[in-house]
Amino acid sequence: MAKASIHIGIIGYGYWGQNIVRNFFNADHCRVCKVADQREDCRELFAKHYPSIEICASAEEVIKDKAIDAIVIATPVSTHYALAKKALMGGKHVLVEKPMTSSVAEAKELVELAAQKGLVLMVDHTFLYTGAVQKIKQLITGKVIGKARYFDSTRINLGLFQPDINVLWDLAAHDISILVYLMEEEPVSVHATGISHTRNGIENIAYMTLHYDMDFIAHFHCSWTSPVKIRQTLIGGDEKMIIYNDLEPTEKVRIYDTGYKLKTEEDKKQILVDYRTGDVSIPKISSQEALSGVAADFIASIMTGKEPLANAASGLRVVQILEASQQSIKNKGQEVQIK
């Protein structure tokens, strides 16, 4: 018999942890029982906003609490594996911030452990729950743009330099998760280049290209050192094209009735192309906060046994692509197979 309410413990009350606590606090069928953060200022801030919820410094205390059914981890990437493993070993369902782990080996171990214990392991790939990405999925699945040809993403800003992961692990993880969700086919190899301007070997600017066994290509440009903030993805089909601009307050998705056709097989050698430019349409999309969808999906998966949208398999795939991209960067852009 399913529980009427899932008891949640949350580890981490930093920038994203605050959003997670707020959404789980407001979610149906769950109760936030305990939150942990090592930083005293974060604990003081939490106590001010949520005086009815217990706050502590120890992640271990939250994991070992027998009253807690599920753990949400909102901590640096380097801590994800150890915390998630302890939680799963303790019989807790786990939602972990992206990317799931800092290596493929760690991610595979967590996926196998969750499966063995019959527990939900979910990754907070928040963008999958946005109205924009859900609409784009409908457009691609419904063949509105025809056959998908390319995915071109730019995610740049003058951002926070991360001490433990490069810019692809930090920023491209979002767009890779979107790509993995949108496309049924999986990439087979990657080329990536990047540079570190901080002398610590952690790239702050990087470019990555994913190759497929079909006539489709995906490209990512990420930077922490841009004077402007851009969050834009172009998705081209052989019938129509989509521009997804996440910085637009309302009109995030635009569909361009624009395309091209080669005249005949014989004319291909002469590069004779017919171009077509038509109307631009702006579909209505849901404005619901994506993180509330993440919370609802995690709770529903625990209560009903259904597979969450941002499941462990997709989390593993993102880590596999990121690890291969890192190997390519270290080998000066050499093509690396994605395993």
Residue-level pLDDT at 15: 92
Residue 314 lies in a domain: no
Per residue in 8-22, pLDDT tens? 999 999 999 999 999
Around Cβ 55, how many Cβ atoms within 10 Å? 18
Predicted confidence band at 339 (pLDDT cuts at 50, 70, 90)? confident
The answer to whether residues 230 and 161 belong to one domain is: yes
Q: Are residues 258 and 111 part of one domain?
A: no
Q: Give the Cα separation of 68 and 70 in Å (integer).
A: 6
User: Can you read off the two tokens belonging to residue 222?
Assistant: 């990420």
Q: Please check whether residue 315 lies inside any domain of the structure.
A: no
Residues 104 and 242 in one domain: no
Residues 6+ apart with CB under 8 A from 3: 69, 303
pLDDT of residue 266: 57
Give pairs for 313-316: CB < 8 Å, separation 24+. 313/111, 314/123, 314/125, 314/177, 314/180, 314/181, 315/96, 315/98, 315/99, 315/100, 315/107, 315/111, 315/121, 315/122, 315/123, 315/125, 316/100, 316/104, 316/107, 316/108, 316/111
Q: Say whether both 263 and 172 belong to one domain.
A: yes
Q: What is the pLDDT of residue 220?
A: 98
In this predicted structure, the answer to whether residue 1 has a pLDDT above a threshold of 50 is no
Residue 99 preceded by cis peptide, ω within 30: yes
Same domain, 134 and 258: yes
pLDDT in tens, 238-277: 999 999 999 999 999 999 998 767 666 655 556 665 666 7
My answer on whether 29 and 172 are in the same domain is no
Whether the predicted model's global pTM rises above the 0.75 cut? yes
Per residue in 291-317, pLDDT tens? 999 999 999 999 999 999 999 999 999
Same domain, 263 and 138: yes
* CATH number of 215's domain: 3.30.360.10
Q: Is the pLDDT of residue 3 over 80?
A: no
- Are 123 and 316 in contact, with CB atoms under 8 Å apart? no
Contacts of 282 (CB under 8 A, 6+ apart): 251, 253, 254, 255
pLDDT at 338 > cutoff 70: yes
The pLDDT assigned to 159 comes to 82
3-class DSSP assignment, residue 8: strand
Look at residue 65 and tell me if it is in a domain: yes
**Residue 159 token pair:** 């951002």
CATH code of the domain in which 25 resides: 3.40.50.720
Residue 247 lies in a domain: yes
pLDDT tens profile 96-123:
999 999 999 999 999 999 999 999 999 9
pLDDT above 60: residue 2: no
Residue 82: give the domain boundaries: 6-126+290-306
Q: What pLDDT does 271 receive?
A: 61
What's the CA gap between 82 and 93, in Å, rounded?
A: 14
Fill in the DSSP letter of residue 311.
B
- Quick one: 167 and 226 in the same domain? yes
> Residue 315: how many CA atoms within 13 Å on its side-chain side?
34
Residues 283 and 212 occupy one common structural domain: yes
Same domain, 151 and 268: yes
C-alpha 274/C-alpha 126 separation (Å) is: 39
SS3 33: strand
Local structure of residue 155 (DSSP, 8 states): E
Q: Let me know if residue 105 belongs to a domain.
A: yes
Q: Do the domain assignments include residue 258?
A: yes
